Amino acid sequence: MYRNEYIDHLKERGLLKDYIKDINYRFEHGDWETIVSSPLPPDDYPDGYIGIKGMKYIRDCPKDKPMFLPVSFPGPHTPFDAPGKYGAMFDPTNMLLDESVPGEIAERARGAGQLLRQTGASGQPYRRPD
């Protein structure tokens, strides 16, 4: 039987249901580019998890032999869902975009600012309604 260490990790931490709910919502609605906070804390987010696993591997390696470890992080790409406090760290309505930013990307950034205003920009991660 196939095992996935990351899925096992999320189960152990009681986070798997929220993660699946978020991914299912995005899949069912084709909503991969809306900018919302991830339901996962930073250390349990895929990039955080991979970084921690990489650091542990390096710490546990024999120190008397050469070692090379390529670590591949899945982000940044859709879904745009910064984890935990990072999802609400900056208010896009107060950020100026350089003139070189393409129009489509600038529109998405403005949309994120509107979303934050609608949700109160409370510093709490945005959650989709149930």
pLDDT tens digits, residue range 17-69? Answer: 999 998 888 788 776 766 677 889 999 999 999 999 999 999 999 999 999 99
Give the pair of three-digit tokens for residue 26.
């995005």
At residue 10, the pLDDT reads 96
Give the pair of three-digit tokens for residue 93.
């309505």
At residue 24, the pLDDT reads 86
Which of 23, 1, 29 has the alpha carbon at shortest distance from 10? 23
Annotated domain spans of the chain: 5-87, 90-125
Could you give the dihedral angle defined by the CA atoms of residues 18, 49, 28 and 104, in that order, rounded to the nearest 10 degrees? 120
Beta-bridge partners for 38: 83
Report how far residue 49's alpha carbon sits from residue 71's, in angstroms, rounded to the nearest whole number. Answer: 11
At residue 123, the pLDDT reads 42
Q: What is the pLDDT of residues 65-120, one digit of tens each?
A: 999 999 999 877 766 777 877 777 776 667 676 777 777 776 766 666 555 555 44
Contact between 121 and 91 under an 8 Å Cβ cutoff? The reply is yes
Model pTM above 0.85? no
At residue 113, the pLDDT reads 58
Residue with more model confidence, 13 or 32: 13
**Residue 127: pLDDT above 60?**
no
